[in-house]
Amino acid sequence: MDDGLSQPGSRSGAASRTPGLEELLTVVGSYLPTDHVQRIQSAALFAADAHRGQKRKTGEPYIAHPLAAATVLADLRVDADTIVAAILHDVIEDTPIAKEELAVSFGVNVADIVDGVTKLDQIQFKSREEAQAESFRKMLLAMVRDLRVILVKLADRLHNMRTISGMSMMRRRAIARETLDIYAPLAERLGLYNLKLELEDLGFRALYPRRYQVIDQALRRARGNQKEFLAKIAENIDSSLSKSKLPAEVEAREKHLYSIYRKMQRKRIPLAEIVDVYGLRVIVDSADDCYRAIGMVHSVYRPMPGRFKDYIAIPRVNGYQSLHTTLFGPNGLPIEVQIRTRDMHRIAESGIAAHWKYKAGESDATEQTQAREWLANLIAMQESGSSEEFLESVRLDLFPDKVYLFTPKGQILRLPRGATVVDFAYAVHTDVGNRCVAAKVDRRLAPLRTELRNGQTVEIVTAPGAMPNPAWVNFVVTAKARTAIRQFLKGLRRAEAIELGQRLINQSLAEFKISLTEVGEATLLATAGEQGMVDVDELFEKVGLGERLAPLIALRIGSTPDASSDQNEPSRETAIAPAPLAIAGTEGLLVSYARCCYPLPGDPIIAYLSSGRGIVVHREACANVEDYRKHPDKWLSVAWSESTDKRFTSELQVVVANRMGVLAAIAAAIARTETNIDHVDMQERDTETSMLVFELKVRDRRHLAQIIRVIRRMPEVLRVSRTLAVRSRDD
């Protein structure tokens, strides 16, 4: 088409300076009108200017990446807004340009798509996993508003996988695992089959390069005979269809490496035993012709029992439709055959992307609607907890549906293989799941954890006062059920935690001869505020859950002058010496460290509330802990603060061979690790060996481990060990 941009003089200046632009404009010019192509070219020049000076790890200009991602989408023949968003998808993240500027220049739709794809790198998270989960949460929620967000993200990920060789081995493996766990299943869930296959192939190659190479070489060796063998079967089927005057296209298809690898894993069989590496696809004109064709195919080769699947009458949740059958080929070799119409084939290859192809005024959004029904559930799911829980729920929900079930009224529900009665109840409605007490499967009573099979009819029995059982979380498989159960139990646990927290604080306040009923609301609110909480209920909840210590909260309340009208004692808080280390949450209390086990930062610890000594911290492995377990009400759950510059006492027992100067040699070695020796005790064990007991000042557990490694390398040293409840001095 003569779009005004195809002349060499009009493009050469911009395209020659922008790698990948010429190819992109050629593809979009084949199906989009001139004004849309001009808009895409403007976006490319805008992005090239924004990314000027930036390089990829492969060494090429950064603009090559967004243009390549846009070309992936152009091959799917999507609309101009999606192409423009793909070109600009890294502009907000990697340049100073803001979303508002994109909205002014290219429209609100494009700006929203780009914002949905943008990662959340500017926010500080506790861990990389949390940042990844939060970015994924944001992207999926943006998909609810506009499904084109995921098209851009998948194209972005596909090009990153194509050029992943520039990454370090560790980074390659992390990205490949994420691709196989999340993005490839997501592409399949949305019907983007071609993208899914390439993502799996690239992810498999990057994550397991050796396994990929072995399977690839084995298939190359077997490919010649298999193809010749398959061509004869295709010829026989095509001949039979032609005799029946049924127009059809018969083509061979090859299973992809990752699919073969997964089958080897799932069935625990070697590659030599996988015989259905190749299959056939039959494409006809109408759904009626599909059923006629299946009869013809079964008349040529005998079908394998139990291997026929009708995805036309009952489509997969992503809109995929086909008839699947497995035939006994020559010599008994199984041959997989798919039969579908041309429209079904278009949806199978392009999925939801097929509906953003440029069509003047046409609207065909069946698969979009089905995809949005799934995405709408994400809204409720994401409110249930942390980003990591959300990511786990989505991952569980991404795998293809395998089980088709019926309600008593004949409605079809699709659930993953392994789904239980409880999964079915929550699939009907969240309230039905929450009030579920029993079920009938094919009119017979069945336990709630019963695993459902294809074609069963399930009736759920509910009761008004029923509630979810926490044990259900251990056997449900769908994200919706897991999320709903957790959400209900969280609300239930909060009420119980608040009540428990009130009781614990009341018990601790008894030392001050007051109770919560005598404490003013202002005092409780002030105490909650000091702890960084918004209200008193949150304070009680944290105490009930063990995240705050009741004795500490009681101390805060009891030391407040207006805590009680009868409180005449002076504030105890001012009389307490500061702790040598801030154990998290113990500010203002006396903290001491047991000399039976010498706890250090990094050790698992537990604390004991001792009269007159405040909080005494022990290592969890300390033998003396057993004596104190008779008073569980005085044990506190504590943790080390994140950082400290303090030094702590630790004790090492070193068994040495009796040699002249051995003590001086070990002391010198310890001194080289920048460690002070407070005390040394020498005990002769026999004529050949002695035990040296060093009392040291160290920073933490790592520092002590460094000292132990240095001492252990000395030839005179026979054994080094850390003191643990050998004796209970002062404790």
Q: What is the pLDDT of residue 106?
A: 93
93 is an active site residue: yes
Write out pLDDT tens, residues 81-105: 999 999 999 998 888 898 899 999 9
The reported pLDDT for the residue numbered 91 is: 92
Residue in the structure block whose two tokens are 């943790």 = 639
Q: Is the pLDDT of residue 532 over 70?
A: yes
Instruction: Report the relative pairing of strands 689-698 and 648-657 from DSSP bridges.
Output: antiparallel
| C-beta separation of 301 from 335 below 8 A | yes
Topology of domain 218-356 in CATH is Beta Polymerase; domain 2 (3.30.460)
| 377 three-class SS | helix
| Catalytic (active site) residue 94 | yes
Quickly state the pLDDT bin for 630 (edges 50, 70, 90): low
pLDDT at 552 over 70: yes
Cα gap 490→731, rounded to integer Å: 41
Q: Residue 318: what pLDDT?
A: 66
- DSSP one-letter code for 354: G
CB 258 within 8 A of CB 201: yes
484-497 residue pLDDT tens = 887 787 777 777 77
Q: Residue 553 half-sphere exposure, CB side, CA atoms within 13 Å? A: 35
534 SS3 class: coil
Q: Is the distance from CB of 5 to CB of 29 less than 8 angstroms?
A: yes
Asked whether 397 and 479 are in contact (CB, 8 A), the reply is yes
Per residue, the 3-state secondary structure of 461-498, as one string, reads EECCCCCCCHHHHHCCCCHHHHHHHHHHHHHHHHHHHH
pLDDT in tens, 257-272: 888 888 888 778 887 7
Q: How many CA atoms lie within 13 A of 116 on its CB side?
A: 25
Six token digits for residue 261: 């690898």
| Res. 275: pLDDT tops 90 | no
| DSSP secondary structure letters along 171-221 | HHHHHHHHIIIIIHHHHHHTT-HHHHHHHHHHHHHHH-HHHHHHHHHHHHH
191 φ/ψ angles, rounded to the nearest 5 degrees: 80, 10
Dist CA 33 CA 1 (whole Å): 9
DSSP assignment of 85-142, as one string?
HHHTTTHHHHSS--HHHHHHHH-HHHHHHHHHH---TTS--SSHHHHHHHHHHHHHHH
How does residue 589 score in pLDDT terms, banded at 50, 70 and 90? low
Q: What is the CATH architecture of 8-210?
A: Orthogonal Bundle (1.10)
pTM of the predicted model as reported, rounded to 2 decimal places: 0.55
Query: What are φ and ψ of residue 65, in 5° steps?
Result: -70, -55
Between strands 249-254 and 403-406, the pairing is: unpaired
Within 10 angstroms of residue 543's Cβ, the number of other Cβ atoms is: 25
| Active-site residue, selected from the candidate residues 22, 23, 60, 94 | 94
Amino acid at 331: N
Catalytic residue among 22, 23, 60, 93: 93
The label of the residue with tokens 């970015």 reads: 135
pLDDT digits (tens, 9 = 90+) for 695-718: 999 888 889 989 999 999 898 888
Gyration radius of the chain's alpha carbons: 34
Looking at domain 648-722, which CATH architecture does it have? Answer: 2-Layer Sandwich (3.30)
Q: What is the pLDDT of residues 438-489, one digit of tens each?
A: 999 988 988 898 999 878 899 999 988 788 887 788 788 887 888 888 778 7
Domains of the chain, by residue range, sit at 8-210, 218-356, 488-575, 648-722
Q: What's residue 13's pLDDT?
A: 46
